[in-house]
Structure 1
Amino acid sequence: MAKVDGATLMARSLKQQGVQYMFGVVGFPVGPIAGAAQKAGITYVGMRNEQSASYAAQAAGYLTGRPGACLVVSGPGVVHGLAGLANAQQNCWPMILIGGASPVYQNGMGAFQEERQVQIASPFCKFAHAVEHVHRIPFYVEMAVRHSIYGRPGACYLDLPDDIILGEVEEEKVQQAATVAEPPRMQAVNEDVEKALNVLESAEKPLVIIGKGMAWSRAEDQVRAFVDRTQLPFLASPMGKGVMDDTHPLSVGAARSHALQEADVIFLMGARL
Structure 2
Amino acid sequence: GGQFYGFRNEQAASYAAGAVGYMTGRPGACLAVSGPGMVHGIAGLANAWANAWPMILLGGANDSYQNGSGAFQETPQIEAARPFSKYAARPDSVRRLPFYVEQAVRSSIYGKPGAVYLDLPGDIITGTCDEDEVDWKNRCPDAPRTTTPQENIDAALAALKSAERPLVIVGKGAAYARAEDEVRAFVEKTQLPYLASPMGKGVIPDDHPLSVAPARSYALQNTDLIFLMGARLNWIMHFGLPPRFNENVRVIQLDINAEEIGTNVPTEVALVGDAKAITKQLNDALDKNPWQYPAETTWRTGIQNKAEENLANVASRYKDDSEPMGYYRVLGQIRDMLPRDAIISSEGASTMDIGRTVLPNFYARHRLDAATYGTMGVGLGQAIAAAVVNPDKKVVCVEGDSAFGFSGM
Scaled to the shorter chain, the TM-score interval is 0.7 to 0.9
User: Residues 147-202 of structure 1: CA distance to partner in whole angstroms, max 9, x if unpaired?
Assistant: 00001100010011111111111101111112211111111211111111111111
Mapping 1:17-32, distance limit 5 Å: none
CA distance in structure 2 between the aligned counterparts of 1:241 and 1:187, rounded to whole angstroms: 24
Indicate which of 207, 218, 221 corresponds to 1:247. 207
What TM-score, normalized to structure 1? 0.84
CA distance in structure 2 between the aligned counterparts of 1:121 and 1:198, rounded to whole angstroms: 44
- 1:213 match: 173
1:81, distance to aligned residue in structure 2 (A): 0.3
- 1:135 match: 95
CA distance in structure 1 between the aligned counterparts of 2:203 and 2:66, rounded to whole angstroms: 51
CA distance in structure 2 between the aligned counterparts of 1:168 and 1:269, rounded to whole angstroms: 48
Q: CA RMSD in A?
A: 0.9
- 2:13 match: 53
SS at structure 2 position matched to 1:97? strand
CA distance in structure 2 between the aligned counterparts of 1:247 and 1:64, rounded to whole angstroms: 25
- 2:27 match: 67
Tell whether 2:120 aligns with 1:125: no
Indicate which of 103, 106, 128 corresponds to 1:146. 106
Mapping 1:27-106, distance limit 5 Å: 40=1, 42-106=2-66
CA distance in structure 2 between the aligned counterparts of 1:122 and 1:248, rounded to whole angstroms: 42
AA matched with 2:159: V
% identical equivalent positions: 63
SS at structure 2 position matched to 1:134? coil
- 1:204 match: 164
AA matched with 2:126: L
AA matched with 2:55: M
User: Residues 186-226 of structure 1: CA distance to partner in whole angstroms, max 9, x if unpaired?
Assistant: 11211111111111111111111001111011111111111
User: Residues 96-143 of structure 1: CA distance to partner in whole angstroms, max 9, x if unpaired?
Assistant: 000001111111111111111111111111111111211110010011
AA matched with 1:242: G
User: Residues 24-78 of structure 1: CA distance to partner in whole angstroms, max 9, x if unpaired?
Assistant: xxxxxxxxxxxxxxxx2x1110001000000000101111111100000000001
SS at structure 1 position matched to 2:5? strand
Mapping 1:157-172, distance limit 5 Å: 157-172=117-132
AA matched with 1:81: G
AA matched with 2:65: Y
- 1:31 match: none
CA distance in structure 2 between the aligned counterparts of 1:248 and 1:62, rounded to whole angstroms: 24
CA distance in structure 2 between the aligned counterparts of 1:76 and 1:187, rounded to whole angstroms: 43
Indicate which of 219, 223, 244 corresponds to 1:259. 219
- 2:134 match: 174
AA matched with 2:222: E
User: 4+ runs of 1 displaced by more than 3 Å?
Assistant: none
What TM-score, normalized to structure 2? 0.56
1:83, distance to aligned residue in structure 2 (A): 0.2
Runs (5+) with no aligned partner, structure 1:
1-39
1:247, distance to aligned residue in structure 2 (A): 1.2
AA matched with 1:224: R
CA distance in structure 2 between the aligned counterparts of 1:186 and 1:142, rounded to whole angstroms: 21
In the alignment of these two chains, the number of paired residues is: 233
CA distance in structure 2 between the aligned counterparts of 1:216 and 1:257, rounded to whole angstroms: 25
1:85, distance to aligned residue in structure 2 (A): 0.2
Runs (5+) with no aligned partner, structure 2:
234-409
